[in-house]
Amino acid sequence: MIFDEIANKDCYRDMPQLYRVLCQMEQLAHTLPQERVELDGTNLYINPVQLTTKPVAHCLYEAHQNYADVHFGVHGTEHISVQSPRLLQLHTPYNALQDCAFFTGEPAVTFAVKPGWFLVCFPQDAHRVCEMGTAPQNVEKLVGKIRVTL
């Protein structure tokens, strides 16, 4: 996983797909798109997301096999917990069409993803999104999807 500020995006120039997503996210943050933005078809794209954070008890971890997720905060703060899928309990088996399995369990670490910050979760990083801090809040974010080869 990677947790950083968008101001440091140039540190990722040697990771061309990630760098391309970060550059595009920085531009899109000024006017949140209404639909998916494709940078390279299903290999590289960005989804706009609007959500209301909720108590941890109502959130599940998700893990992917074919994509890394880049969660970029635009408005509000979303807490995202991360843990190895090996250390979690399976809730819903992997669905290849959704490229997702769901889990429950305790986090290794939790990040507060604020505007201007991003969290990259690779397939080995199960992540529990939509967590609230002290109270629910409305969040706008961009989620980049980068196809990975395992």
Inter-residue long-range contacts of 16-20, CB under 8 Å, 24+ positions, other chains counted: 17/43, 17/44, 17/146, 18/68, 18/70, 18/120, 18/146, 20/44
CATH code for position 123: 2.60.120.370
pLDDT of 78? 98
- Residue 111 CA to residue 82 CA, distance in Å, equals 8
Sheet with 126-131: strands ordered across: 89-95, 100-104, 61-63, 126-131, 78-83, 109-113
Number of domain units in the chain? 1
67-75 and 117-121 beta bridge pairing: antiparallel
**What is the pLDDT at residue 149?**
76
Q: What is the pLDDT at residue 150?
A: 60
Query: From the first residue on, what is the mean pLDDT of each consecutive set of 10 residues in the chain (150 residues)?
Result: 98 98 97 96 97 98 97 98 98 97 98 98 97 97 92
Q: Tokens standing for 95?
A: 């669905």
- Cα(40)–Cα(75) distance, rounded to whole angstroms? 26
Which residue range(s) make up the domain with 65?
A: 2-147
pLDDT the model gives residue 33: 95
Q: Which residues pair with 62 in a beta bridge?
A: 102, 127
